[in-house]
Amino acid sequence: MLHTKRRWGIAPCEDADELAAKLTEHTWTLCSAFRTAHGTVWANDSTCEDALQEYGVLRRGEDGAWRQVETITVSWCSREKLRLYIDQADAGVFDAATLAQVPAERLEEPHATCALCA
Ligand SMILES: [Zn+2]
C-alpha cells in the first residue's frame, strides 16, 4: 500500500453491485475499507479525499497473512467496470501478485475514530 502506517476500519459489504456503487459514486474517509462476501478487502489508499480515489485490493492467504494484490483507481472506473474488478478479485484473478504485505492489526473491526475520520 502507498500508506504503510494507515489503519482501516473494515465494514462488510456483501453485495458486489452495492460495493461498486459505493466506491464509484461516493468518496469515503481515508481509513475506510470494505469486505466482500468472498473476503476480499477494498481499502482506501488515496492520498486525500479530494484526490483520485485509489483502493488497494487485499486478499488473505492460506497462511492468514494479508497481501495487497492490486491497486484500482476507482475514480477512473464506471460502476460496471468496477463490478468486474470486484468479481475478478473475489475469484482470485489477482492473487498471483504481491504488491505489499499488510499486517492484520491494520485492518480494524471495529474501528475507533482516528485522525482520518474524526
Ligand atoms: Zn478512522
Taking residues 40-58, what's their average pLDDT? 97
Residue 77 lies in a domain: yes
Q: Kind of pairing, strands 107-108 and 100-102?
A: unpaired
The amino acid sitting at 97 is A
Residue 111 lies in a domain: no
Q: How many domains does the chain have?
A: 1
Residue 115 lies in a domain: no
Residue 118 lies in a domain: no
On the question of pLDDT at 19 being above 90, the answer is yes
Residue 49 lies in a domain: yes
Residue 2 lies in a domain: no
Separation of 62 CA from ligand 1 center, angstroms? 28
| Closest among 38, 16, 6 to 111, alpha carbons compared | 6
Give the residue numbers spanning the domain of 55: 8-106
Q: What is the pLDDT of residues 62-113, one digit of tens each?
A: 888 999 999 999 999 999 999 999 999 999 999 999 999 999 999 999 999 9
Cβ partners under 8 Å of residue 21, min gap 6: 79
Residue 62 lies in a domain: yes
Residue 58 lies in a domain: yes
Separation of 46 CA from ligand 1 center, angstroms? 14
Q: pTM above the 0.95 mark? A: yes
